[in-house]
Amino acid sequence: MRRLERIVLGMLLAAAAAAASAAEVRLGELLGETDTAGFLRAETPRPFRFPDDHGPHPRYRSEWWYLTASLESASGEAFGVQFTLFRQALRPAPVFESPWDASQVYLAHLAITDVAGGRHLEAERLARAHPRLAGVEAAPFRAHLDGWELAADRPDLQALTLSGTAERFAVRLRLNPVKPVVLQGNDGLSPKGPGQASYYYSIPRLAVTGEVRVDGRSRAVTGRAWLDREWSTSVLGEQQSGWDWFALQLDDGADVMMFRLRNDTGLRDPYDQGLWVDPDGLGHPLRVPDFRLEPLRYWQDPDGVRWPVAWKASVMTPQGPRRFQIHAALDDQRMDTLIRYWEGMVRVVDDDGRRIGTGYMELTGYD
């Protein structure tokens, strides 16, 4: 029986790999350009219901649970941690009600940036949905894939634990929200273009304690994290190649998310957006006139792709204009995974080069 089970699991994983390999071709094939018939779409604002919305929305084609953390050891060593669990529906509804229906594919990325060691390590796991393989439950919250897990003891996402082990690194972190959930875009509806949108909310700041291990050496760490939730059926249009996304946590207690969409015209996309979150947790939407992002420096990877790893930013906040720069903690934080993208820890500095915050940057579609 165990041998039969292993054969079945192997067949399912092989099929999942074949389905996901299209992501190597173009990001838009996952996020907007393939057949969407029968799936629900993000079209109008909706009421969010927690804890239910922490769980999966299988009638929408794509979904992700995304956590990043900026951490420091007692001796001042800096580390970044990323965990992302992607869900991709292969059909709008299950063929039959069974854990083995396998109409949902889960893909997980776990990565660590060791700044002092000058290295960025990533790992990837893939499986069809099944209670013993991969999936997400809302209450109590649990998002897992093959031993990697983000889970909470309580429905309000208090007492979260992230645990995962890869070949060269491992993380075990405890996280508690410092700020409440904030809705992105228009009351949680985040438009990306005509007929393109997602449902999107964030917990912009969580307090973190725990341990990281790199190449057999463990360090106790503390810091702060950002949690994103997003689901949709169509996000990118045919004219859009990718995005530059930032989640920044400033030392004065404010947080900001900004992204710019890159389109074929080379002009500013009218659907660029962001959110400024005051220290007390109140969110203020940012529209195109409210912020600007300009690349300052590029890093060229071994394949010849140029990634913008330093930026100049200006934001109009409720308290007035803010200007700062964003610099990659390491230039090479490229994710060499099925979907190739740049995802890594950044430092936020003022015009005099003094640190005023930390965060994460995501760059997609450059290759």
Hey, CA dihedral for 199, 159, 279, 249, is it positive or negative?
Answer: negative
Angle at 367 between CA 18 and CA 291, to 5 degrees: 120
Contact partners, residue 146, CB within 8 Å, separation at least 6: 108, 125, 127, 133, 134
pLDDT value, residue 123: 98
Two tokens, residue 184: 């992105």
pLDDT value, residue 16: 44
pTM reported for the whole predicted model: 0.90
Instruction: Pick out the chain residues at pLDDT < 50.
Output: 1-33
The CB-based long-range contact list for 318-322 (8 Å cut-off, 24+ gap) reads 318/276, 318/278, 318/284
Angle at 317 between CA 313 and CA 318, to 5 degrees: 175
The single-letter DSSP state of residue 32 is T
Q: Which residues make beta-bridge pairs with 244?
A: 260, 363
Tens of pLDDT along 278-287?
999 999 999 9
CA 302 to chain centre: 24
pLDDT value, residue 96: 66
pLDDT value, residue 34: 56
Q: How far is CA 351 from CA 16, 277, 319, 356, in A?
A: 48, 22, 19, 10
* Cβ-contact 33, 238 below 8 angstroms: yes
Calpha distance 86→275 (Å, rounded): 23
pLDDT value, residue 35: 62
Closest of 217, 208, 210, 209 to residue 249, by C-alpha: 208
Tens of pLDDT along 237-258?
777 888 999 999 999 999 999 9
